[in-house]
Each structure stands twice: as C-alpha cells, then as structure tokens.
Chains A and B, each alone.
Chain A
Amino acid sequence: DAGVIQSPRHEVTEMGQEVTLRCKPISGHNSLFWYRQTMMRGLELLIYFNNNVPIDDSGMPEDRFSAKMPNASFSTLKIQPSEPRDSAVYFCASSFKGTFDEQYFGPGTRLTVT
C-alpha cells in the first residue's frame, strides 16, 4: 500500500516567491496534519483537518501561510510570499479515526528559501 505522498521532496526558492507543497494522504484516512520541523523549534503542528475541514490552525505562523483540503485525497500548504525563516522540513501526516491517533507521516519536503 502507498503511504503518505508528498511533493516536491526538495524545493529551493528565492525570498518573495510563492511556494506550494502537496500531500496525498493514505486512502481511507480522514484526518490530515501539516507539521514543520526545524533545528531551533523541533516539530510543530501547523494545521490539521478532519473530514476535509480545518479543525485547528492555531499553529499557522502568519497570514503568509494557508492550507486547503479540497477533497479527501489531496491537500496543499502554500506560503506567499516566502521568507528565509520559512526554511524547514514540512511533513504531512494522516490518520484514521478510531486508531488512537496513529499518524502516518510522509517523507517530508525540504524547503530552502534564499
């Protein structure tokens, strides 16, 4: 079975550019999570969706960040405009209600903003 799929795996962009990260959760999972991992701050939850609806976006750093889940099999995290401090590894994870929050993580997108 395919796991959580993220694209691209690596992204290098210049400050001010728009960046879009993509995630395909595991089929049948109804919760999706976006995390950011940095050396300084560790692993932080940005936002999570349940049944395609955003439940908690309190971790989204600022208005430059936005996330959407138009259907059960696809989500995007967009940064516009990007800044060097956004450089991090961004993980998407999904889980199935009833499994005590066993989250399955994708391989991550390493974002570098120069």
Chain B
Amino acid sequence: GDSVTQMEGPVTLSEEAFLTINCTYTATGYPSLFWYVQYPGEGLQLLLKATKADDKGSNKGFEATYRKETTSFHLEKGSVQVSDSAVYFCALSGTGRRALTFGSGTRLQVQP
C-alpha cells in the first residue's frame, strides 16, 4: 500500500538557518504530494502541493520539488523564523484514492 516516510524530529534550528525536512514515498501510479503544517493547538493547514513529476510547490518561502526518480518531496526554506516552529507533515494522495496518507510528522523548533 501507499506509505510516506519522514525524517525523525525534532529539528532544532537557529533563526535564519536553512531548513530541509526529508520525505520519501511509496505509491503506485502518479500520486499528488503535499506538505501540511500544524501549529500548536490547531488543525493541519495545507502548506504546498505538487501534482506531477518535476512540479515545484511553494508558499511562504517554503519549497518542495516532486522527484519521481527518487520518490522524494523534500521541504526546504532558505531562512527560517521563530514563527515557523510547528509540526510538518508530508502526505500523498494515491491514484484513484482521494484520502491522504500522512507521514509521521517532523517537529521543527526555531530558536531566536
């Protein structure tokens, strides 16, 4: 079945540092890929998405590129802020199945 694997957290960075959170997936066909963010005490919010190979999703300074050859969708940001502290979830929507399969989440802590 479909699965998503994320790097273990927590990831602790200083403000203005470069962020990478790794995500790889297993799925048949051509899934759509997503990054969701969960701030403390809140529900998940869609951060960015990509629907086909080589697409780059971007939002709020975050970027991720759909790499079919490596089955990856790594999240990057050039300069993190304290307000980026949250849990980040990688997810996919498999062909023909509209529900999302989520990774385990990666907690990011940004220190001033």
Residues of A within 8 A of B (CB): 4, 31, 33, 42-43, 45, 48, 50, 55-56, 91, 93, 95, 97, 100-108
Interface of A, helix, strand, loop or mixed by DSSP? strand
Contact status B98-A106, CB under 8 Å: no
Query: Shortest 7 CB-CB distances between A and B: which pairs?
Result: A105-B43, A101-B93, A105-B44, A43-B102, A42-B104, A100-B32, A107-B43
A95 engages B98 (CB within 8 Å): yes
Question: A55 CA to B93 CA in the complex, in Å?
Answer: 15
Asked if A43 and B98 sit within 8 Å, CB to CB, the answer is: no
B102: chain A residues within 8 A (beta carbon): 42-43
Question: Is B88 at the interface (CB under 8 A from chain A)?
Answer: no
B interface residue numbers (CB < 8 A to A): 32, 34, 36, 41-46, 49, 51, 89, 93, 97-105
Q: Which of A48, A91, A102, A106 contacts B99 (CB 8 A)?
A: A48
Q: Are A4 and B43 in contact (CB under 8 A)?
A: yes
Check B105 against A43 for contact (C-beta < 8 Å). Answer: yes
CA of A107 to CA of B45, assembled, Å: 10
Contact A100-B44, Cβ < 8 Å, known A48-B98, A56-B99: no
* Bound: A37/B32 CA distance, A: 22
Given contacts A42-B105, A95-B98, 16 further A-B contacts (CB under 8 A): A42-B103, A42-B104, A45-B99, A45-B100, A48-B99, A55-B98, A91-B44, A100-B32, A100-B49, A101-B93, A102-B46, A104-B46, A105-B36, A106-B43, A107-B41, A108-B42
Interface centre among A4, A102, A103 (most CB of B within 10 A): A103
A106 — which chain B residues lie within 8 A by C-beta? 43
Set of chain B residues within 8 Å of A45, measured between Cβ atoms: 99-101
Tell me the minimal C-beta distance from B93 to chain A in angstroms.
4
- Scoring A48, A100, A107 by chain B CB atoms within 10 A of each residue's CB, the highest score goes to A100
